[in-house]
Structure 1
């Protein structure tokens, strides 16, 4: 069986596209070969800045001969139908067979397709792959029609057998496939002839090209850390940058340079971001955590050991850092003046056409944070102050230049302005969490502002009917919902998200004294299309049910990731406290854990038996049996024993529920199974005496109502 080697040599491929391109080449070629009837033992793809390569082992020599039997029209069908069938099969009428079918006698075509040699199939598949390759962006060059990410220069396509290698005959827009590649553009120019993948990889390395991206990244990291260690320093780890830099070079040469003293007083994050974004440099820090040097990776060795390259990079870096220093000093001047200039500027920045400016939004978040504060143990004044300053850095020059530093720079500026530590921390932390693995704020002021920010986003976009649809979520509302869940659950915050309370808060903004999804805006007349109201104040009433359901959907995902059963989650999403997410999660976790013990089975069997009998009786009688059970009316020992057991368990269940100790409540309820089973064995619930029957049903309802306080246990799968 032959091995196959393909290389597509071009001008420089953007680093961000290389890994995906290698995967696409492997997928398209292997899928095409398999669909054509070939098989292979293994495949591996590689990418460098100038080339995509694919190596297949154990390719079959040819596709197999296949025979397909295709059913045609009936023998008495119109002539045109038969002629159409003949055209589709490429056969003559005499070539058709006739078979009996349940609908009569029909024509049957047996179509034999002879196998084809692998080289022929490879040529077809590779040409299709090149012409239809899914680059995010592509270009044409010269007079040809071929499109590629950058001009394609060579095609190498070789099949290797034990007796030698052959070039697969192929031509695409004047590019003729061969067995020739090129090494490093500067260090090893000229043609290289290859016979196999092993020969190809070895000759490329001798020609100063490391084919494997992982090997290039490992070489960069090894050399960089060794250089830093020798100087008593440490390279700041950045895996994303490492992967990107490995895609910029074919022969990595690590160089370490010094940052000028003038810029060492910049915040380390500014230094790191500026070097990473503009120059693709790694940051190097000393034992005190100060970033004092940088690592750059050249694509070639030089006679002066990179001195000229390093000097040029240092000059460019100094120019970039001079800009950053200018931004930093200007921003500090505004921050020390109280940041009023930035806050006023945010009044001219539109957040959303229907939701006002960033300044309007800050006002809403500040009012909301103040009301949330007592629920999270934060000082209301500090929470409001933090919310008013948290987004001020969006107007700063530094954040304009480096948007990824928003929040972090806000903390620096708040500290420079002399704000309390809690306010400064909230400026950075209120954006978190940004994802399932992100750290969740725990400081009360930060939590209040983070919750207010995310809840305002959700309620606002719900109010203007900009909800996520399918995979589209342009305003990241799913992420905001998950953030609300993580904040509430991680900090065990007792917050009712759907409680009603009349009237606006302080005459304006979203009423969240109990986190109700109603909101007031003080707004211009152009917003009156949102609701019917006077021109000065518009009442916006979001679809609270829909929004709570949206939060529940995200919560289901969150709990399933924890290992909580889906039926347990559905069972807990019932009753009148489903808007208290912390309570809901506590019940779901406790119920899920209950099933790991015998008590879990006892609880379910107990509840189901009682709930089924009660439901049947209430449906038949058209009444609700929910109170009035009297021990004096008990007619049997089993009945009296159940009354006594419930009387003994009730205070323990009530105390556990009051303390939200759901495991204890469920254990106390499950302990009733014995008396309940004895009751059902000895007592006829549907007695002929109407008074006894009603008393027994009311007794059963006490058990059902106690279980329902935890969850709708009828939803639990057996």
Structure 2
């Protein structure tokens, strides 16, 4: 069984496209091979700036012979029908066989397709893959019609057997497949032949090309850490940047340079962001001070001066970039120390959404809502309003205009520089959080307050103008905002009735001078609450709470208080994890089914209270007593929101309910006893339904 080696060699492929392109090459080639009958044992991909590589192991030598029997028209059918069948089957009339069937004589054709050599199939599939490759952007060059991300220079395509390598015959717009490739553009120019994957990889390394992007990344990481360690420093971890840098070079040479002393007092995040975005440098910090003091750059070649010229050029360009950053920083500090009014005024001229007004309008709404939320979060209302009005001021700053990813963080620096307090300053950075399911959740009351107001205003606004997520589309990140609200409430144990808060938020939106077009809050709140509940289900599912348990609790009053809802769900999940809880649910469902059927048949409701005096057996009397005891325990427990105690009292009914169904006939011949026992079942239902809607529990 041969192996297959493919290399598509081109001009430099953008770093951001290499990983996806390698995956596309693997999927499209292997799918095409398997569809044509060539199975394989393993496939792996590699990429460098100038090549995409696929290695397939254990490929069949040829596709198998195929014998297919196909049923045709009836004997005596019109000639056109028979001729159409012959064309489709690829046979002649004399190859047809007549067979008797229950519906009469029918033509059958036996189609035999001999297997094809692997080389023919590989050539056919690879040409289709190359001509239809899904590059995000592609180009044409020269006079050919072929499109590729950058000009495609050569194709290496070999079937590798123990007795040698076979070049697959392939010609795409004059580019003929061969058995040669090139090494490093500068350090090892010229082509060389290969005869196995091991030979290919070894010769590439001799020609200063590391084929594996993971190997290049590990090499850069290790060299960078060693250089930093020798200087008493450490590399700032950035896995995404490391992978990008590894995709920019074929032979990584790691160098450490110095940052001009005049820029060392810039905030470390500014230094790191500027070097990452403009130069693709890794940052090196002093672990004692947290200050960024040096940088790591990665060259694509070795030089006789050990990179001194490369470092000098990089440091010169970096100094120019950091001079800009310093200019932005100093200008922004001057504005901040005057009170940032110029920035907040400028936001009144920036449109947030044409139906929801400007950023200034939005800040006014968030500030007003923040005051309303303070009763629940425990924050100071005046400080909350102040923090809300300043939290987005840095959006007007020069630094954030240059580096939008620093929004919030720069606001924190600027507010602290203005002397407005670290708690108010922290809000600027923290009110955007949490940004995802694993992001940290703010805990400071001011930050929690403004973060909630920000996200609730967003959700209310887009529901008010009927711009909700649809399917996989969520252009305003409303799912993320809802999950953020949920996590803020749960982590900080903030008790809110969402309906009241949304109504207050809606008032601010409806007062927007631009006006809105959409349903009123009473119309859209049920849908918005359902949206919250859906996000909550996903959040709790990851914590091991089943969706039916959450549904059972959502059906209860107060379901817009998410903290209350989760406490109820957690307690119910704990009870249903016990044998008593599971069996009680079964008993409840049995009682409910019998009762519902009787009420439907009799046309009456058995909800008038059962009389213990009519109990005939000790088991029946015990159930009356157990229900009274449960009721006496459940009501105060629910009033105190002590759900574990309420659930425990409900679970204690398991024994008496089981015994009742084992020993007592509900539908007795005596109609007085029957009515009383049905009313008793209603009491079981009512008692359990105080806890949660157990009808929604599955199983």
TM-score range (shorter-chain normalised) is over 0.9
Q: 2:361 maps to what in 1? A: 360
User: Are 2:515 and 1:527 equivalent residues in the alignment?
Assistant: yes
Contact persistence 2:346–2:396 (CA under 8 A): yes
CA distance in 2, matches of 1:625, 1:420: 64
Q: 1:57 maps to what in 2? A: 57
* TM-score normalised by length of structure 2: 0.95
Contact persistence 1:382–1:422 (CA under 8 A): no
User: Are 2:144 and 1:147 equivalent residues in the alignment?
Assistant: no
Shift in CA distance, 99/570, structure 1 to aligned 2, threshold 3 Å: farther
Q: Give the alignment partner of residue 543 of structure 1, picking from 511, 520, 524.
A: 524
Q: 1:99 maps to what in 2? A: 99
CA distance in 1, matches of 2:366, 2:463: 16
User: Are 2:436 and 1:435 equivalent residues in the alignment?
Assistant: yes
Shift in CA distance, 656/541, structure 1 to aligned 2, threshold 3 Å: closer
**Aligned-pair CA distance for 1:233:** 0.3
Contact persistence 1:603–1:666 (CA under 8 A): no
**Aligned-pair CA distance for 1:617:** 4.2
**Aligned-pair CA distance for 1:298:** 0.5
Contact persistence 1:462–1:542 (CA under 8 A): no
Q: Give the alignment partner of residue 549 of structure 2, picking from 552, 565, 568.
A: 568
Q: 2:625 maps to what in 1? A: 644
Contact persistence 1:282–1:294 (CA under 8 A): yes
Q: 1:324 maps to what in 2? A: 325
Contact persistence 1:463–1:542 (CA under 8 A): no
Q: 2:584 maps to what in 1? A: 603
Q: 1:673 maps to what in 2? A: 654
CA distance in 1, matches of 2:634, 2:188: 81
Q: 1:416 maps to what in 2? A: 417
CA distance in 2, matches of 1:677, 1:206: 79
**Aligned-pair CA distance for 1:39:** 2.0
Contact persistence 2:42–2:58 (CA under 8 A): yes
Q: 1:534 maps to what in 2? A: none
Q: Deviations over 1:431-484 (max 9, x none)?
A: 111111111112121111111111111111111111111111111111111111
Q: Deviations over 1:170-207 (max 9, x none)?
A: 11111111111111001111111111111010000001
CA distance in 1, matches of 2:517, 2:24: 49
Q: 1:482 maps to what in 2? A: 483
User: What are the equivalent positions in structure 2 for 1:204-603 lying under 5 Å apart?
Assistant: 204-286=204-286, 287-499=288-500, 511-512=503-504, 520-524=509-513, 527=515, 529-530=517-518, 543-603=524-584
Contact persistence 1:255–1:295 (CA under 8 A): yes
Q: 2:27 maps to what in 1? A: 27
**Aligned-pair CA distance for 1:633:** 6.1
User: Are 2:691 and 1:710 equivalent residues in the alignment?
Assistant: yes
**Aligned-pair CA distance for 1:255:** 0.5
**Aligned-pair CA distance for 1:714:** 2.0
**Aligned-pair CA distance for 1:26:** 1.2
Q: Deviations over 1:22-75 (max 9, x none)?
A: 111111111111111112222111000000111122222111221122221111
**Aligned-pair CA distance for 1:348:** 0.9
Contact persistence 1:511–1:518 (CA under 8 A): yes
**Aligned-pair CA distance for 1:221:** 0.2
Shift in CA distance, 641/393, structure 1 to aligned 2, threshold 3 Å: same
CA distance in 1, matches of 2:523, 2:334: 41
Q: Deviations over 1:609-657 (max 9, x none)?
A: 3333443344445555556555566565444433333333333222322
Contact persistence 1:519–1:540 (CA under 8 A): no
Q: What secondary structure, in the 3-state scheme, does the structure 2 residue paired with 1:33 have?
A: helix
CA distance in 1, matches of 2:455, 2:4: 54
CA distance in 2, matches of 1:219, 1:212: 11
Q: 1:189 maps to what in 2? A: 189
CA distance in 2, matches of 1:645, 1:528: 56
Q: Unmatched 5+ residue regions in structure 1?
A: 501-509, 532-538
Contact persistence 1:519–1:541 (CA under 8 A): no
Q: 2:638 maps to what in 1? A: 657
Q: 1:86 maps to what in 2? A: 86
CA distance in 1, matches of 2:522, 2:351: 22
CA distance in 2, matches of 1:102, 1:391: 80
Q: Deviations over 1:512-553 (max 9, x none)?
A: 3xxx866652233x536557xxxxxxx765511111111111
Q: Deviations over 1:137-165 (max 9, x none)?
A: 11111111100000111111122222222
Contact persistence 2:366–2:388 (CA under 8 A): yes
**Aligned-pair CA distance for 1:234:** 0.4
Shift in CA distance, 167/376, structure 1 to aligned 2, threshold 3 Å: same
Q: Unmatched 5+ residue regions in structure 2?
A: none
Contact persistence 2:584–2:657 (CA under 8 A): no
User: What are the equivalent positions in structure 2 for 1:7-26 lying under 5 Å apart?
Assistant: 7-26=7-26
More deviation, 90-99/172-181: 90-99
Shift in CA distance, 376/74, structure 1 to aligned 2, threshold 3 Å: same
More deviation, 253-262/590-599: 590-599
**Aligned-pair CA distance for 1:235:** 0.2
Q: What secondary structure, in the 3-state scheme, does the structure 2 residue paired with 1:511 have?
A: helix
Q: What secondary structure, in the 3-state scheme, does the structure 1 residue paired with 2:371 have?
A: helix
Q: 1:129 maps to what in 2? A: 129
Contact persistence 1:33–1:121 (CA under 8 A): yes
CA distance in 2, matches of 1:585, 1:127: 57
Q: Deviations over 1:341-393 (max 9, x none)?
A: 11111111111111111111111111111111211222222222211111111
Aligned length: 698
CA distance in 1, matches of 2:521, 2:648: 45
Contact persistence 1:368–1:511 (CA under 8 A): no
Contact persistence 1:568–1:716 (CA under 8 A): yes
Q: 2:198 maps to what in 1? A: 198
Contact persistence 2:609–2:683 (CA under 8 A): no
Q: Deviations over 1:62-90 (max 9, x none)?
A: 11221122221111222211111122223
CA distance in 1, matches of 2:568, 2:102: 61
Contact persistence 1:511–1:520 (CA under 8 A): no
**Aligned-pair CA distance for 1:114:** 1.4
* TM-score normalised by length of structure 1: 0.93
Q: What secondary structure, in the 3-state scheme, does the structure 2 residue paired with 1:527 have?
A: coil
Q: What secondary structure, in the 3-state scheme, does the structure 1 residue paired with 2:289 have?
A: coil
Contact persistence 2:461–2:509 (CA under 8 A): no
Contact persistence 2:464–2:506 (CA under 8 A): no
Q: Deviations over 1:314-334 (max 9, x none)?
A: 111111111111111111111
Shift in CA distance, 592/529, structure 1 to aligned 2, threshold 3 Å: closer
